Amino acid sequence: MRVGYPASFTPDLLALLPREVEAVPIPSHPEQTYQIDLWIPPPAPAIGQRIWPHLRGVHTILSLMAGTDWLIALAPTGVTICNAQDAHNIPTAEWTLTAILSMLKYFPWYHDLQRDADWRGRAQIPEIYARIHANPNPTFPPIQQEELHGKRVLLVGYGSIGKTIEHLILPFGVELTRVARTARTTPVPVHAVTELDALLPAAEILILILPHTPASHQLIAAPQLALLPQGALLVNAARGPIVHTDALVEALHAGRIRAALDVTDPEPLPPDHPLWRCPNLLLTPHVAGITPRSAPRAVGLAADQIRRMLRGEPLLHVVHTGL
């Protein structure tokens, strides 16, 4: 079996692949065609899309990421695609919790003050709090941060990453409501996504961690943003197109909500895109799932899948059969 893998693999990652296969390094800028049976694509869709026309004979794709929408769009009939379920649960869940706490503790604003070497600007924090919550009443002492404890959290997407987020956030004493494609009552109550609009008005924090599909495309648009309570925090660690970008820009500039995004639409953001300059917004460049431990987990999972194929066993985490 010939297994194509990113030529940028470090030796420790390459050593995880079974010795029984012929490992074929695929460069990011291929200048020839490669005959392989199985492809482990790079995490970056743009690089993978550039490589795909140079591949021949691929019948199975083992993604190193949880999201496979770009691979499904790329692969023809007859190609089986598996995702790296569970490999990025921990870092993505940690990013989500960190983003929430960073916004509630006003870390982006305090970081700006640190760069200015002047804490006198902390007097702006109560003003920011009053604007985002539409609460002009003075407080004593002046507000300097908010608490996560007691917040009403709406978690949209209850797969393996969503459950890891739940595990991390529940000890903070939040009131958690779960949403998935279909409703269920056991082992915990989960609402159907068709109930989303009815749930949004109570959501002080809205977490998106669902796959991008035709059904979830722009699931959060202007009507949904308008349903969120004043000052709500939108956290998107899923896929950019799940949120209608223009509607989000408008809501942020209107001071209706705040947001923390690891993903955007478009991605990457052009330098002149208005999202860069929105108030009450924390941006990171689609890095939530990438840590020193996540790559070995993902490649280790791919290696286990290859061993299953060599033993004639069914693959795990199949998201597309190509039939």
Q: Consecutive sets of 10 residues in the chain, 323 residues long: mean pLDDT of each?
A: 97 97 98 98 94 97 92 89 95 98 97 95 94 91 96 97 98 98 95 98 98 94 98 97 98 97 96 97 96 96 98 95 72
Contacts of 172 (CB under 8 A, 6+ apart): 148, 149
Instruction: Choose, from 178, 286, 297, 317, the residue flagged as catalytic.
Output: 286
Which homologous superfamily is 89-105+146-283 in?
NAD(P)-binding Rossmann-like Domain (3.40.50.720)
The pLDDT score that the predictor gives to residue 239 is: 95
The pLDDT score that the predictor gives to residue 75 is: 86
The pLDDT score that the predictor gives to residue 322 is: 66
- From CA 299, how far away is CA 18, in angstroms rounded? 11
- From CA 224, how far away is CA 222, in angstroms rounded? 6
Fold classification of 2-87+291-320 is: Rossmann fold (3.40.50)
Instruction: Choose, from 59, 122, 133, 267, the residue flagged as catalytic.
Output: 267
Instruction: Choose, from 239, 256, 258, 297, the residue flagged as catalytic.
Output: 239
φ/ψ (deg, to 5) at 257: -140, 180
The pLDDT score that the predictor gives to residue 69 is: 87
Q: Is residue 175 among the annotated active site residues? A: no
Q: Where in the chain are the domains?
A: 2-87+291-320, 89-105+146-283
Integer CA distances (angstroms), 239 to 67, 70, 264, in order = 8, 11, 7
Joined tokens for residue 159: 């797969």
Q: Tell me how far the alpha carbon of residue 72 is from its chain's centroid.
A: 18
- Beta-carbon neighbour count of residue 49 at 10 Å? 14
The pLDDT score that the predictor gives to residue 323 is: 63
- From CA 125, how far away is CA 122, in angstroms rounded? 6
Cβ atoms of residues 63 and 45 within 8 Å: no
Contacts of 90 (CB under 8 A, 6+ apart): 164, 291, 293, 294
The pLDDT score that the predictor gives to residue 78 is: 87
The pLDDT score that the predictor gives to residue 76 is: 81
| Model confidence, pTM | 0.93
Q: Is residue 217 among the annotated active site residues? A: no
- From CA 108, how far away is CA 130, in angstroms rounded? 17
Cβ atoms of residues 178 and 162 within 8 Å: yes
SS (H, E, C) 93-143: HHHHHHHHHHHHCCHHHHHHHHHHCCHHHHHHHHHHHHHHCCCCCCCCCCC
Joined tokens for residue 261: 């995004």
Find tokens 């420790």 and name the residue: 12
Q: Is residue 31 among the annotated active site residues? A: no
Joined tokens for residue 284: 């990171």
